[in-house]
Structures are given as C-alpha cells and as structure tokens.
Amino acid sequence: MTAIDDLLAGYRRFREGYFQDNRERLTDLAAGQSPRVAMVACCDSRVDPAVITDSAPGELFVIRNVANLVPPCEGEGIWHGTSAALQFAVCGLDVEHLVVLGHARCGGIRALLEGRDERGEDSFVADWMRIAAAARRNALERDDLHDFDQRAHACELDAIGISLANLASFPWIRERIDKGSLELHGWYYDLTSGELLCRDPVSGRFTPAG
C-alpha cells in the first residue's frame, strides 16, 4: 500500500468508527464552532496539539506554521497567513486563550541557529525564520551554553517569548488582554520525555505543567 492508500484506509476506519460513534457531536459542530482556545503550533508532523492535549474536534483552533512563530503586526502584506488566522480566532471566534506551543528538536529553529539564511530562489523558510532572529543571536551570545543542542533548546524557548511579544503587538489582541478577556500562554513540548513546560508571564521561566 502507498502512503495515500494508508490515509484512505484510515479515513474509512474513521467514517465507520469514530464518525458514527460521535455523530451527534460532529453534526452540532457542522453548524458552527466555538473553541475557547487558539493555539499557534509548529507544522512538524510529530507535534499534534490535539493529541498532546487530548482534545476533541471543536475544542482547539489550531494555527500551524514553521517553528510556531507569530509575526509582528505589520501592514506590508509579508506574513498575513498567520495574522489572518489569529484575527479570525480573536475577533471572529472570541477565543479566551492564545497558546504558543513550541517543541524540542524543531527543524526550523535548528536551521535558523545553523545560519542557513542565505538569500536565494528558495528562501521562504529563511525569510520566515527571520522573525526569531533575536533568539538565535541570544543563544549564540550566551557563555553558559556549550554545544549545539543546548543552544537550540535555548533558541526554541526564546522564540516562544518573541512570538508572545508579537501577539501583543496586534491592537485587537492588546485591547482584549487589557480588558481581561484574553490570556496569552507559552508552552514547550519535549518529544522524548513527553513533558510539557509552561512559561511564567512575568519571569519568562519555563516549569513543568505536572
């Protein structure tokens, strides 16, 4: 069987099993969605926010891109895919929480740290990763980091902080934060241990979720 055959076989199992078992819930969702949480996650195939949080359809509004980055608010039309999804989640769906979910061994962050940012015909990833350039700079300047993996880990955590700051640069997000109707969260998932770390909004430190 090909990979596509596997997917289609999986669809048939879904249609005959999960869909039938949850038909009422899925039918209700067809009329509209009202998730309370929007999550910016990496498009890495190993990190599925719904699986990690054991969430059902309709519970998470997920925005996925390379390295789970949020661009700053800008009007030049450079990074509007993620920004448009955020605006829909916040202004259209009135989500109560925005979560930036980073993860260990992120390919985008590792490419950024390695300096693969040469301009060329295929520089889409490099252009996008410039959002987290400050995280790379910080990781390279730290004297307490002694190898590439340590620097990559620090860069992954710092990139979450950058994305959270960029979220607050959107006026319709800032307004809701100030009113207390929207909260921002930074999370980090370790692929090997399965541990989830949560970022303290004041200190910026990450501690285990439990």
Domain residue ranges of the chain, discontinuous segments joined by +: 1-32, 33-208
d(CA 161, CA 172): 19
pLDDT band, residue 120 (cuts 50/70/90): low
Residue 13, beta-bridge partner list: none
Residue 103, beta-bridge partner list: 189
d(CA 134, CA 187): 19
**What is the Cα 194 distance to its own chain's centre?**
17
pLDDT at residue 74, as a whole number? 81
Classify domain 33-208 by CATH architecture.
3-Layer(aba) Sandwich (3.40)
pLDDT band, residue 121 (cuts 50/70/90): low
pTM, entire model: 0.93
Backbone angles phi, psi at 154, to 5 degrees: -65, -40
Q: Which residue from 168, 101, 171, 163 is spatially nearest to 134, judged by alpha carbons? A: 163
Residue 105 has pLDDT above 70, yes or no: yes
SS (H, E, C) 78-131: CCHHHHHHHHHHHHHCCCCEEEEEEECCCHHHHHHHCCCCCCCCCCHHHHHHHH
Residue in this structure with the two tokens 């620090």, named with its chain if needed: 154
**Burial tier of 210 (Cβ tally within 10 Å: 0-12, 13-18, 19+):** exposed
